[in-house]
């Protein structure tokens, strides 16, 4: 779980009403190289996990800021070296080469491997496999390290085995950033979701890691329209005349939308935005964002942007999460915010680069991944400061919503009990207040859910590259299609997940590391693409810029 280490945040293990945790501290002259306090070995031993500094031209301090520091296995009282990652208990196949970071295919054979004992706060330590890279394998925008929350996540599996969470389910709301006093902490929930953060009906689709789907996170959606919502009331489509776009939801990506160039151009044209020269931002926080020329017109678009999915779900992204001040880093890890310069969090992809929806989507949407059911679920997000955690059990009874029969496919009321509220998921965005929401009784205590604070710019640190996925080929449920779905497919586009599945009944090809190529910050004009070459992605949109 890559973290931005320039402010303090805390992951809380909420067990029987007691809260202990892991803190992530600002890196500065008064904070020595203890950026992450995971208990290790005996009480009082601390070290950093799976870190590597890839830019020797950087000063040591900023390298620690950007990459989190080094893992010092020699200082551990409990580190045991093994022959390789497989011998340590790691996955024998980390990822498919398609979409992988530079160096990942060699990671298993080249890394130092072993086991170590880790504990969060005062919890009992657990022995886990540890891989320590010995080569440059991530020169891109994933800041710090990665804690896998994929279908074979060591972390999720350990929490389930220890009965600290009820299931391999996690969910995310990013919060709101760059708004000043209106900044809002987001949250990660392991083992369930936060019902205060959802509005109206959702849609649920099957996780699909197959190469023909072309989405390494397994979460592909089809965008049938994008609407610019002007403050004076006009709604203007920026996709009229364009084919729908298949986009892969990648919560750790640094922008809102990476999209074919012609659609990005149409967005700027219809909103009156003018890019500067050079047009592409090189700052670490929002690398590849479109830098705006705010003096060209004297005006900057101050409306919202609504994504309309083939499911019928609408996600309205507020303006302050679409156009943001220019953000950089100082050498001590603190953020440098230039309010006089603005960046549009949209990047024009070319060639066979995939279209992605990044972290700023989940400032407006709420996303839940259910590895027990092999599905992901998305709602319009509710930016509420309240929190009510709801566990999702391993049984299909709790985590398999029923179809509402209203044309939106698999939806429910946000309580995962199959009862649709019928609430709007439409255009009100950040102004929505949650409807009254009946609760669902479960046999799992809410106290067994792990919650994580994800801070905004003013207070707690944000997660910069939240979670890594891996390619995982699994069977489709009976009655669903093997290929991609089209926007006119109707209810078939939403997977009926009511058929029970036993844990362990899915194919064994599971991985932990992300199948994503991350573009290097300091590599001249070279840009690494996530998906090299062409592939059988299907035919919604495949014209020089994505799917």
Residue 378 has pLDDT above 50, yes or no: yes
* Average pLDDT of the segment spanning 434-463: 41
* Average pLDDT of the segment spanning 492-504: 41
Estimate the share of the chain in helix, then strand, then coil, as percent rounded to the nearest 5. 15, 30, 60
Higher pLDDT, 266 or 543: 266
Cis peptide before 433 (omega within 30 of 0): no
**Confidence (pLDDT) at 288:** 87
Residue 396 has pLDDT above 80, yes or no: no
* Average pLDDT of the segment spanning 5-32: 30
| Sequence-distant (≥ 6) Cβ neighbours of residue 283 within 8 angstroms | 289, 326, 327, 328, 329, 343
> 363-374, pLDDT tens digit by residue?
999 999 999 999
Higher pLDDT, 257 or 138: 257
Residue 189 pLDDT grade (very low, low, confident, very high; cuts 50, 70, 90):
very high
Residue 443 has pLDDT above 90, yes or no: no
What is the domain range of residue 120? 1-547
**Confidence (pLDDT) at 141:** 56
**Confidence (pLDDT) at 16:** 26
Of 51, 48, 44, the closest CA to residue 77 belongs to 44
CATH code assigned at 340: 2.40.70.10
> 95-113, pLDDT tens digit by residue?
554 544 555 567 677 778 8
pTM: 0.65
**Confidence (pLDDT) at 320:** 95
**Confidence (pLDDT) at 1:** 29
**Which parts of 63-120 are beta strand (E)?**
80-81, 112-119
Residue 162 has pLDDT above 80, yes or no: yes
Q: How many residues does the chain have?
A: 547
Higher pLDDT, 363 or 153: 363
Residue 94 pLDDT grade (very low, low, confident, very high; cuts 50, 70, 90):
low
Backbone dihedral angles phi then psi of residue 379, each to the nearest 5 degrees: -120, 165
Residue 154 pLDDT grade (very low, low, confident, very high; cuts 50, 70, 90):
confident
**Confidence (pLDDT) at 479:** 34
Taking the alpha carbons of 342, 346, 350, 352 in that order, is the dihedral positive or negative? positive
The mean predicted confidence, pLDDT, of the chain is 66
Higher pLDDT, 320 or 474: 320
> Quick one: how many helices (H) and strands (E) in the chain?
7, 27
**Burial grade of 161 (CB within 10 A; 0-12, 13-18, 19 or more):** exposed
Whether the Cβ atoms of residue 224 and residue 314 lie closer than 8 Å to each other: no
**Confidence (pLDDT) at 145:** 54
**Confidence (pLDDT) at 209:** 84
* Average pLDDT of the segment spanning 106-127: 77
| CA–CA separation, 266 and 538 (whole Å) | 24
Higher pLDDT, 93 or 243: 243
**343: part of which helix (H) or strand (E)?**
strand 335-344
Residue 451, CA atoms < 13 Å, CB-side half-sphere: 21
* Average pLDDT of the segment spanning 383-387: 93
**Confidence (pLDDT) at 82:** 93
Rg of the Cα atoms in the chain: 22
Residue 388 has pLDDT above 70, yes or no: yes
* Average pLDDT of the segment spanning 72-85: 88
Helix (H, G, I), strand (E, B) or coil at 290: strand
Lowest mean pLDDT among 56-65, 127-136, 341-350, 414-423: 414-423
Taking the alpha carbons of 5, 56, 329, 103 in that order, is the dihedral positive or negative? negative
Of 396, 434, 386, the closest CA to residue 416 belongs to 396
Tokens of 507: 């194919």
- Residue indicated by tokens 């890691």: 209
| CA–CA separation, 220 and 471 (whole Å) | 13
Higher pLDDT, 221 or 286: 221
Across 344-382, b (16+ Cβ under 10 Å) vs e yields bbbbbbeebbbbbbbbbbbbbbbbbbbbbbbbbbbbbbb
C-alpha angle 101/457/202, rounded to 5°? Answer: 70
Question: Pairing relation of β-strands 257-260 and 346-349?
Answer: parallel
Residue 63 has pLDDT above 70, yes or no: no
Residue 403 has pLDDT above 80, yes or no: no
Residues above pLDDT 70, as percent of the chain: 51
DSSP structural state of residue 353: P
**Confidence (pLDDT) at 79:** 92
Residues above pLDDT 90, as percent of the chain: 28
**Confidence (pLDDT) at 332:** 66
Domain tally, the chain: 1
> 460-487, pLDDT tens digit by residue?
222 322 332 222 323 333 333 323 333 3
- Residue indicated by tokens 């409306």: 303
Whether the Cβ atoms of residue 215 and residue 206 lie closer than 8 Å to each other: no
Whether the Cβ atoms of residue 315 and residue 361 lie closer than 8 Å to each other: yes
């Amino acid at each position: 779980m890559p973290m931005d280490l320039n402010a303090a945040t805390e992951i809380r293990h909420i067990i029987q009403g007691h809260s202990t945790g892991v803190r992530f501290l600002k890196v500065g002259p008064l904070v020595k190289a203890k950026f992450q306090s995971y208990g290790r070995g005996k009480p009082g031993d601390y070290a950093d996990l799976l870190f590597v500094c890839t830019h020797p031209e950087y000063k040591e301090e900023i390298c620690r800021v950007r990459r989190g520091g080094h893992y010092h296995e020699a200082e551990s009282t409990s580190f045991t070296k093994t022959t390789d990652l497989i011998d340590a208990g790691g996955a024998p196949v980390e990822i498919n080469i398609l979409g992988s970071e530079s160096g990942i295919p060699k990671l298993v054979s080249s890394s130092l491997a072993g086991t170590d004992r880790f504990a969060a706060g005062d919890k009992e330590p657990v022995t886990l496999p540890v891989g320590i890279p010995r080569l440059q394998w991530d020169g891109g925008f994933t800041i710090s390290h990665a804690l896998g929350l994929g279908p074979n996540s060591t972390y999720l599996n350990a929490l389930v085995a220890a009965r600290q969470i009820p299931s391999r389910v996690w969910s995310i709301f990013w919060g709101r950033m760059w708004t000043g006093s209106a900044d809002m902490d987001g949250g990660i929930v392991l083992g369930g979701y936060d019902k205060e953060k959802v509005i109206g009906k959702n849609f649920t689709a099957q996780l699909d890691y197959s190469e023909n789907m072309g989405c390494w996170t397994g979460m592909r959606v089809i965008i049938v329209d994008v609407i610019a919502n002007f403050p004076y009331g006009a709604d203007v489509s920026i996709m009229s005349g364009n084919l729908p776009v298949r986009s892969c939801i990648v919560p750790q990506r640094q922008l809102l939308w990476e999209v074919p160039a012609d659609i990005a151009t149409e967005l700027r044209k219809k909103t009156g935005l003018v890019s500067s020269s050079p047009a592409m931002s090189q700052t670490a926080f929002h690398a590849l964002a479109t830098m705006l020329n705010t003096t060209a017109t004297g005006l900057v678009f101050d409306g919202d942007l609504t994504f309309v999915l083939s499911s019928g779900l609408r996600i309205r992204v507020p303006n302050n999460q679409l156009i943001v001040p220019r953000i950089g880093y100082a050498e001590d890890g603190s953020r440098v915010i230039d309010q006089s310069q603005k960046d549009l969090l949209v990047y024009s992809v070319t060639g066979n680069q995939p279209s992605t929806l990044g972290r700023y989507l989940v400032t407006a949407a709420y996303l839940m991944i259910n590895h027990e059911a092999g599905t992901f679920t998305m709602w319009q997000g509710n930016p509420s400061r309240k929190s009510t955690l709801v566990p999702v059990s391993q049984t299909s009874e709790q985590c398999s919503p029923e179809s509402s029969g209203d044309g939106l496919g698999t939806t429910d009321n946000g309580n995962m009990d199959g009862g649709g509220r019928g609430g709007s998921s439409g255009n009100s965005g950040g102004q929505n207040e949650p409807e009254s929401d009946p609760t669902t009784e479960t046999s799992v205590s809410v106290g067994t859910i792990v919650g994580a604070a994800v801070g905004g710019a003013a207070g707690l640190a944000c997660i910069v590259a939240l979670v890594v996925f891996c390619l995982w080929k699994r069977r489709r449920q009976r009655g669903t299609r093997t290929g991609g779905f089209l926007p006119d497919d109707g209810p078939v586009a939403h997977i009926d997940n009511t058929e029970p599945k036993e844990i362990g009944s899915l194919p064994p090809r599971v991985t932990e590391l992300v199948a994503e190529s991350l573009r290097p910050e300091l590599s001249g004009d070279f840009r690494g693409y996530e998906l090299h070459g062409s592939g059988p992605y299907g035919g919604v949109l495949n014209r020089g810029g994505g799917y």
